[in-house]
Structure 1
Amino acid sequence: MRKTLVVALAAWPVMAHAELQRVNFTLDWSVQGVHAWYFLAQERGYFEEEGLDVRIDQGEGSAATVSRIMSGAYDAGFGDMNAVIQNAAERPESAPVMVYQLYNQPPFALLTKADGPIQQLDDIKGAVLGAPAGSASTRLFPAMASAAGIDVDDVEIINIAPNLQEQLLNRDDVDGSLVFTVTSYMNLVAQGHDPEADYRWFPYGDYGVEVYSNGVMVSRAMIEQRPEAVAGLVRAINRAVQEIIDDPHAGIDALMAREGLLNQQAETQRLAFALDNLIISAESRALGIGAVDEERLARSISTIVDLYELAQTPTVDDVYSSEFLPPLTMRMP
């Protein structure tokens, strides 16, 4: 009797683990501070409590997250809402759906030197700006200029490699650069500059560009076949996000446990920048992290359709679902 009981108890963890639902999850890029919540949720067993075995892989870009999910290789991931909109216009039957919007503000900006010729946005008339060809910051710049009443024909834009944006600006080869803020901010830190004192940032969101950006998206198949797993995934991630807002170092510790060669101080700064500038905003304080203002999202869909000359205009329901969000009281920053 005792022997049978011991065997049964020894087998229980294996059986319990076998019952977990596997979720293949892709990040948008290599592991960074802005991914801390996924590893904290994993480390503290929040995914497992939801009956999930979440396997996290690094990514190849925010738009690539959408492609990876559409291929069927991944069930969910962290990627760009605007790439979801583009694919929902072209392949609505297979485009993923955003279920937890993290970047409430767009992570794009015009970056200039504090002592450079561009002291205010009107100064870009006649200026030379560096921009990576095809990047979201480049494609969205006309929307920013239009909202600010600036004719893009008055600005010269030259194509530059993404990894040279800050260097060319510092060498005065360009008057400003159109950047992805989370990356550029830390590039400047790594180069020994003070991103706050030495530079001016003109965030697109402050100049009329209403688009959302990165968040947690899932495949349509996962929504249709495993809705309880989607809800559990969102609950676990939200739980970790809330804990990291209260204690960012807990998230960085979990991150370093996964990727010990990262620069801990740099990733701590990156996480703080994202929380302060992209995630926590007046809107997310009102609606809770993960939610969107549906009227704003509808306007941003129209912006993306116009800029990318898409043949169809997706609806809000085509690209976003609030169905799986925890209650508002659990999502307040």
Structure 2
Amino acid sequence: MLKKLLSTLALGLCLSGPGLSGPALAETNIKFTLGWKTQGSDAPFLLAQQKGYFKAEGLNVTIDQGEGSAATVTRIMSGAYDAGFGDVNAIIQNAATRPGEVPIMVYQLWNKPPFAIVSKKTTNITKPADLVGKKLGGAQGTPTTRLVTVLGTLNKVDMSKVAIENMGPNLQEPMLIKGDIDGALVFNITSWFNLINNRQDPAKDYNWLLFGEFGLDLYSNGMMVSQKLIKENPDAVAGLVRAVNKAAVEIGLDAEAGVKAVLAYDNLAKEELERARMKFSYEQLILSPEVDRLGLGDVDDARLARSIGIMVEGYQLTATPKPEQIFTRQFLPPPADRKLAYKTN
């Protein structure tokens, strides 16, 4: 009898013991928020759901559309969501005052920042010095608008000679097209396709001054999770990361799989437009020498520390968060599993 009891206990321990290598036995519910309305750049999360990669990890993931990449942070801080796709810089901003409540980035997807100043080529804005005497339009509170002064300072531009007009994000491209402003402070992955929707050619007729090329080498969007989820169910976090990583790597080799996942999630999405946006996210924001070196999802520690310093200056934060309050690599799969091979076609 005793021998049978001990065998039963041993079996129970084997089945319920902790570990990051396999899915939990009981399905874990996770509420996940995207960064905005359905876009092609959401494909890694939507493919992981559609192909059952979350399910295989013992996760029941509910994905909702978002209200902005910064809002992902506040949604998770409120307790309404467990995880989401959002901007690491918003984590930095909130960590300065509420370090115990902010989510932690566990998979840094966009290695390069989308922050840009777009202008008509006829305006001839190609570098920060060209901003002098120009009028820019920016949505109040966005990273691009908040950090343009830091961009100017780093590049020795007298920003008192640059006019910045606050406007709703929906007005930026129309006012730029009309000539009411000389440049717009935007996310390139959003504005590029807004211009296409306005029958413009963003490659032929517009210049793109990228912040990352002029001293603001920041990280951007990735997958973040609540501190509560990390503490209470680290296995679920590891499974979430594995599933998304598997999908992100797969899309690099099979773009159509990503497109199909986007359309399966939202049949109102425009197939051609979102295919192009998904490819843009890979080619302009994800692929980089750093990703080749470190693999998808990871960061360079020294670069992250510099990024935090830039945000502290740009947002005049009263405290400087530590890198470990912003990002953890403890849930990342091995580097070999995060190697991105990308097919351009």
The whole-number CA distance in structure 2 between the counterparts of 1:307 and 1:145 is 11
Mapped to 2, the partners of 1:50 and 1:83 lie a distance apart of 28
Match of 1:192 in 2: 199
AA in 1 matched with 2:307: S
Structure 2 residue 284 is matched with structure 1 residue 249: no
Per the alignment, residue 280 of structure 2 pairs with 273
Q: CA deviation at 1:246?
A: 0.9
Aligned to 2:151: 144
1:211 matched residue in structure 2: 218
Query: Is contact 1:117–1:175 with CA below 8 Å preserved after alignment?
Result: no
The residue aligned with 1:287 is 294
Is 1:160 paired with 2:173? Answer: no
**1:154 shift after superposition:** 2.0
What is the distance in 2 between the residues matched to 1:121 and 1:137?
Answer: 14
Question: Within 2, Cα distance between the matches of 1:285 and 1:18?
Answer: 35
In 2, the alpha carbon distance for the partners of 1:321 and 1:37 equals 20
Contact kept in structure 1, 2:125 and 2:209, CA below 8 Å: no
Matched residue, 2:70: 63
Shift of 1:89: 1.1
Counterpart pick for 2:228 among 218, 221, 230: 221
Q: Please name the residue that 2:93 is paired with.
A: 86
Determine the C-alpha separation between the residues in 1 that align with 2:216 and 2:24: 45
Partner Cα separation in structure 1 for residue 37 and residue 64 of structure 2 = 9
Letter of the 1:218 partner, please give it: V
Supply the distance in 1 between the matched residues of 2:25 and 2:310 (Cα, whole angstroms): 45
Q: Which amino acid aligns with 2:221?
A: N
Q: Distance in 2 between matches of 1:256 and 1:301?
A: 36
Point out 4+ residue stretches in structure 1 off by more than 6 angstroms: none
Of 8, 19, 30, the residue aligned with 2:37 is 30
SS of alignment partner, residue 90 of structure 1? coil
Q: Any idea what the Cα deviations from partners look like across 1:15-71, whole Å, max 9, x if unmatched?
A: x99931111111111111011111111111111111111110111111111111111
Per-residue deviation, 1:173: 1.0
Determine if contact 2:24/2:235 at 8 Å carries over to the other structure.
Answer: no
Residue 128 of structure 2 contacts residue 151 of structure 2 at CA under 8 Å; is this kept in 1? no
Find out whether 1:129 has 2:147 as its counterpart: no
Match for residue 106 of structure 1? 113
User: 3-state DSSP class of the match of 2:70?
Assistant: helix
Q: CA deviation at 1:120?
A: 4.1
Cα displacement (A) at 1:149: 2.2
State the shift of 1:79 in Å. Answer: 0.7
Residue aligned with 1:145, SS: helix
**CA shift digits 1:224-245 (9 cap, x unpaired):** 1100110000000000000111
Once the 2 structures are TM-superposed, how far is the Cα of residue 147 of structure 1 from its aligned partner?
2.4
8 Å contact from structure 2 (residues 106, 329) kept in 1:
yes
Identity of paired residues, percent? 48
The 1:236/1:213 distance shift into structure 2, 3 A limit, reads same
Code of the aligned partner of 1:188:
L
83, 89, 97: which one aligns with 1:76? 83
Contact preservation (8 Å) 1:97, 1:217: yes
What value does the CA root-mean-square deviation take over the aligned residues? 1.5
Distance 1:97 1:156, change over 3 A: same
SS of the aligned residue for 1:78 comes to strand
Match among 119, 125, 143 for residue 118 of structure 1: 125
Partners of 1:241 and 1:277 in 2: how far apart?
15
In 2, Cα distance between equivalents of 1:81 and 1:291: 13
Shift of the alpha carbon at 1:190? 0.8
Q: Deviations over 1:96-131 (max 9, x none)?
A: 100000111111101011222424442211111111
> What TM-score, normalized to structure 1?
0.92
User: How far apart, CA to CA, are the structure 2 residues paired with 1:151 and 1:230?
Assistant: 46
Residue type of the alignment partner of 2:89: N
Q: Counterpart of 2:190 in 1: which secondary structure?
A: helix
Per-residue CA shift, 1:196-245, capped at 9, x if unaligned?
11111011101110221111000111111100110000000000000111
Distance in 1 (CA, whole Å) between partners of 2:42 and 2:80 is: 20
User: In 2, Cα distance between the equivalents of 1:120 and 1:205?
Assistant: 12
Give the structure 1 partner of residue 102 of structure 2: 95
- The corresponding residue for 1:328 is 335
